[in-house]
Structure 1
Amino acid sequence: MDPIIAASIAVALIFILLALGTPVFATLALSGATGIILVENLAFLMNRLKSFSYSSTATSTLTVIPLFILMGAFAHHAQIGRRLFDVANKWVGHMPGGLAMAGILTSAGFAATSGSSVATAATVGSVALPEMRKAGYDPALAAGSVAAGGILGVLIPPSVLLIFYAALTETSAGKMLVAGFVPGILTTIVFMAGIRLIAGRIMPRANLAPRSSWGERLSSTTKAWQVIVLFLVVLGGIYLGLMTPTEAAAVGAVAALLMLILELGSKVMPAVGESFRSTITTTVMILFTMIGAGIFSYFLTLIQLPQQLAAVISDSGVPPHVIIALFLLSYIPLGMFLDAFSMMVITLPIMFPTVQHLGFDPIWFGILCVKMCEIGLMTPPVGLNCFVIAGIDRQTPLPQVFRGAMWFVLMELFTVSLLFTFPQITTSLPNMMLGG
């Protein structure tokens, strides 16, 4: 069959299966398999699938994924999130919107131990939302700020999504993790500035908390020692070239386990068991998604579609930055219906060869992709972080959570514009890494 017709059938099958509620990994695998059969035959497909699942997932690079997830699970059970919120509240709680700003700071800190958006949103939400409700915060602002804070979990290293991008595109995992640091800090600052502007208009002065003394602030900061240790072990080890990402993740997981034992003592085993269960569940989901994406990507490579598309786009005369901007904007409608992992596995096999062909830095493009996936975590109807917050805060209806998150979507678009216009914000730190 003509490759273009086969590709059209395979892509149409993706939308049909997704509409029927088929899991993303199965959708991609079935669509890719169908395309391969149409272009070649069933015997060719079966021959390729003999060892495909093993060869596409049994790589040492992917070991970092369960290790970072496990580290975040241990950190969650060690109550690191609550301590971080207490520290952040001492520093900014007295400002207009201070508790919401403290939630953002807590999310940024916990993201440095987690790597998961949902885990960050759930952990910080369970701590910050009751405090904001008692202080009389606008429900939309409170819920939206925590949902937005959660997305820092997929940007600030160690981020599982950054590792996922590196695996899909064969980019340096260490450089991807380091590259997420400065954009993560920039996003945190933009969110806090936005909250300050919004809260200054909608919050009465009577709702402000008393200002803590400098002594109280400095003494409280010592409670955040776990985050500092994990951050230095993981990102410091990678940046200085002392450890590979996998080694850093292993050391970080062991350090987080010791913190959990120190926190819970003899009652640690149930928390350890739950951490292992959640790690296995998440890891299996990610690996199955990668297998499905690999089958579909193999079909696209077989018919040379990404390469042909890259050549057509390059010869079209459209400015390269306009092409990249259009690629990024396509994530907004996709994010309304798909999760971040699904968006990447569907789009990157088509987009990434074009990005390479146009000569753009894959690290820079990867951070921009993750930022656009973040927006999808806050947009209806399938904004996963908003659903998580609505589940935690039963008093705030889901539409109100989405309304509060829309302020932060605008802030995200502003941040993406800065990163798009000034690539050095993203690339300067990884380019200075020791040990490559």
Structure 2
Amino acid sequence: MMTDTLVGILAIGAMFFFMILRTPVGLAMLIVGFFGTWILSGYRSAGALLISETYSATSNYALTVMPLFILMGNLSSAAGFSRRLYEAAFAWVGWLRGGLASASVIGCAAFAAVSGSSVATAVTIGRVALPEMKRFGYSDSLSTGAIAAGGTLGFLIPPSTGFVIYAILTEESIGRLFMAGILPGLLLTGLFLSTIAIIVTLKPGQGPKGSLPDSANRLTALLRAAPLLAVIVISIGGIYLGVFTPVEAAGVGAVLVAGMAFAGRLITLREFGETLMQTVRTAAMLYLIIIGANVLNPFLALTHIPSTLGESLMGAGLGPYGALALVVVAYLFLGMFMDGLAMLVVTVPIVFPLLTGMGFDPIWLGVIIVILIEMGMITPPVGLNVFVVKSVAADVPIMSIFKGVFPFWIAMLICLILLVAFPSIVLLLPNSMFG
């Protein structure tokens, strides 16, 4: 007779098999969680779990932050506000050696603050920036690498979809996680810019200098980007000051962007309808993932896999940082094969109780996990963001893009080491906000 743990191991293997067959991540987790619970606890328990978890996930008020922030990002892209962010960065730093790549990273960081999605960030800025870098003679590896790496900032800089899902899975505060992502996001942006500076210093031909625009053009570009920058400051600043909850901030941001788009006649009613449908499709996919995770997690608890792993690590005498190092290696390995959201929802129920039980702060741990998942987004052979950039730059060989992202992957590793060495970088804002 099979033990509960063996059933769990076989079920996890089946889930990976479903994912290889391109079954949607949420559906794969839902199938495995439901039938696994049926095997261990009977049909009535599995049915009750499916009904209760589906209802609790879809009726969770905190989750409405996701579709609202997705809508804000989609409207910003459809109305051309994202292009203005890039143009402002281009006007101020584009004249430097490697400046267009730097402008792309800055544009990604700014757009990340309204989109919450790494894929949307990479596609949106990539469509604007890649043709410009090609026109100015930038190397394919630097231009595509900067976009692929910069796009990952959408998963770290709030409002991050990754933080929302992590908060739901762990019952942590979305507001605290959003605040925790700000300084690491700025740190990683700075490391990306430093990486570009080092590359073009060593190989000047990869990022030629441009001409310096006059002060009037730079000011005009900044003013054109100012409305969306103001929305970012209002929504994220409102959360920090306690004026808004994250859900209210998302609603305020979406209404302000929609109002600016219609007031400036930058979007038609038909385009608005298409944007709403695009938002619904993305939100539905994310809700399915959360429902699947909520059905899978109780099943994993029944299998005793998380507790068994925790006991094994504790018994191995590695200590907290030894266990953390093992988890980091595991994430880097999984990142070579798994989609970021899939990795998040599958691993957090196992990793979270293990590491928080060893004394690590749950908010800090959320940021570390999100950065590890970001690294997976540009790690071969899957590297989702690399293939997203490939879809925009069809003429660039995939190996050139992977070659281009490698220095940025090293920058992410340095960021990770700094956050482990100095946890206060993560915890300063959430602790000052909530005391």
- Secondary structure of the residue aligned to 1:276 is helix
Deviation at 1:32, TM superposition (A): 1.9
The TM-score normalised by the length of structure 2 is: 0.95
Aligned residue for 1:36? 37
Deviation at 1:304, TM superposition (A): 3.8
**CA–CA distance in 2 between the matches of 1:99 and 1:246?**
35
1:414 lines up with 2:392 in the alignment? no
Say whether the 8 Å CA contact 2:200–2:207 is kept in structure 1.
no
Aligned residue for 1:124? 125
Aligned residue for 1:263? 264
In structure 2, give the amino acid aligned to 1:57. T
Say whether the 8 Å CA contact 2:65–2:246 is kept in structure 1.
yes
Q: Which runs of 5+ in 1 are unaligned?
A: none
1:174 lines up with 2:175 in the alignment? yes
**CA–CA distance in 1 between the matches of 2:221 and 2:50?**
56
- Secondary structure of the residue aligned to 1:212 is coil
1:364 lines up with 2:364 in the alignment? yes
Instruction: Report the more deviating stretch, 100-109 or 390-399.
Output: 390-399
Aligned residue for 2:48? 47
**CA–CA distance in 2 between the matches of 1:173 and 1:282?**
20
Instruction: Report the more deviating stretch, 330-339 or 278-287.
Output: 330-339
- Secondary structure of the residue aligned to 1:176 is helix
In structure 2, give the amino acid aligned to 1:235. I
**CA–CA distance in 2 between the matches of 1:258 and 1:5?**
55
Say whether the 8 Å CA contact 1:137–1:203 is kept in structure 2.
no
Aligned residue for 1:377? 377
Deviation at 1:216, TM superposition (A): 4.3
1:429 lines up with 2:429 in the alignment? yes
Residues 287 and 417 of structure 1: CA distance in aligned 2, closer, same or farther (over 3 Å): same
Say whether the 8 Å CA contact 1:237–1:243 is kept in structure 2.
yes
**CA–CA distance in 2 between the matches of 1:338 and 1:107?**
23
Say whether the 8 Å CA contact 1:380–1:402 is kept in structure 2.
yes
What are the within-5 Å matches in structure 2 for residues 29-178 of structure 1? 29-178=30-179
Deviation digits for residues 131-187 of structure 1, max 9, x if unmatched?
110111101111111111111111111111111111111110001011111111111
In structure 1, give the amino acid aligned to 2:377. L
1:191 lines up with 2:192 in the alignment? yes
**CA–CA distance in 2 between the matches of 1:422 and 1:205?**
34
**CA–CA distance in 1 between the matches of 2:207 and 2:46?**
68
Count of matched residue positions in the alignment of Structure 1 and Structure 2: 434
- Secondary structure of the residue aligned to 1:157 is coil
**CA–CA distance in 2 between the matches of 1:164 and 1:200?**
40
Residues 318 and 204 of structure 1: CA distance in aligned 2, closer, same or farther (over 3 Å): closer
Say whether the 8 Å CA contact 2:34–2:47 is kept in structure 1.
no
Deviation digits for residues 76-100 of structure 1, max 9, x if unmatched?
1121122122211222112211100
Aligned residue for 1:23? 24
Say whether the 8 Å CA contact 1:145–1:404 is kept in structure 2.
yes
What are the within-5 Å matches in structure 2 for residues 316-395 of structure 1? 316-395=316-395
The TM-score normalised by the length of structure 1 is: 0.95
**CA–CA distance in 2 between the matches of 1:365 and 1:7?**
25
**CA–CA distance in 2 between the matches of 1:49 and 1:33?**
7
Residues 316 and 228 of structure 1: CA distance in aligned 2, closer, same or farther (over 3 Å): same
**CA–CA distance in 2 between the matches of 1:301 and 1:204?**
55
Deviation at 1:411, TM superposition (A): 1.2
Say whether the 8 Å CA contact 1:300–1:306 is kept in structure 2.
yes
**CA–CA distance in 2 between the matches of 1:116 and 1:32?**
27
In structure 2, give the amino acid aligned to 1:412. M
**CA–CA distance in 1 between the matches of 2:406 and 2:360?**
30
Residues 263 and 401 of structure 1: CA distance in aligned 2, closer, same or farther (over 3 Å): farther
- Secondary structure of the residue aligned to 1:88 is helix
Deviation digits for residues 41-100 of structure 1, max 9, x if unmatched?
223322332333112331101010100100101111121122122211222112211100
Deviation at 1:215, TM superposition (A): 5.2
Percent of aligned positions that are identical: 39
Residues 123 and 19 of structure 1: CA distance in aligned 2, closer, same or farther (over 3 Å): closer
**CA–CA distance in 2 between the matches of 1:13 and 1:391?**
30
**CA–CA distance in 2 between the matches of 1:154 and 1:80?**
20
Aligned residue for 1:275? 275
Say whether the 8 Å CA contact 1:158–1:234 is kept in structure 2.
no
Say whether the 8 Å CA contact 1:29–1:293 is kept in structure 2.
yes
Q: Which runs of 5+ in 2 are unaligned?
A: none
In structure 1, give the amino acid aligned to 2:13. A
Deviation at 1:206, TM superposition (A): 9.5
Deviation at 1:25, TM superposition (A): 1.7
Aligned residue for 2:302? 302
Kindly report the root-mean-square deviation, in angstroms, between the aligned alpha carbons of the 2 structures: 1.8
- Secondary structure of the residue aligned to 2:265 is helix
In structure 1, give the amino acid aligned to 2:112. A
In structure 1, give the amino acid aligned to 2:336. M
In structure 1, give the amino acid aligned to 2:167. A
**CA–CA distance in 1 between the matches of 2:56 and 2:371?**
30
**CA–CA distance in 1 between the matches of 2:115 and 2:42?**
44
**CA–CA distance in 1 between the matches of 2:97 and 2:103?**
11
Aligned residue for 1:404? 404
In structure 2, give the amino acid aligned to 1:30. I
Aligned residue for 1:229? 230
In structure 1, give the amino acid aligned to 2:35. T
